[in-house]
Amino acid sequence: MSGDTKEHPTPATVTAWLRDEGIVELEETFPADGDLFLAGLDSMAVMQLVVAAEERFGAVLGPADLAKDRLATPIALARLLEEKRA
pTM: 0.90
Residue 4 has pLDDT above 70, yes or no: no
* CA-to-CA dists, residue 77 to 30, 65, 85, angstroms: 14, 10, 12
Q: Give domain 3-83's CATH architecture.
A: Orthogonal Bundle (1.10)
Residue 3 has pLDDT above 70, yes or no: no
Q: Give the pLDDT of residue 1.
A: 42
State pLDDT tens for residues 13-71: 999 999 999 999 999 999 999 999 999 999 999 999 999 999 999 999 999 999 999 99
Dihedral, 6, 11, 17, 19 alpha carbons, nearest 10: 180
Which residue, among 37, 46, 21, 39, has the nearest Cα to 72 in the 3D structure? Answer: 37
Q: Give the pLDDT of residue 7.
A: 82
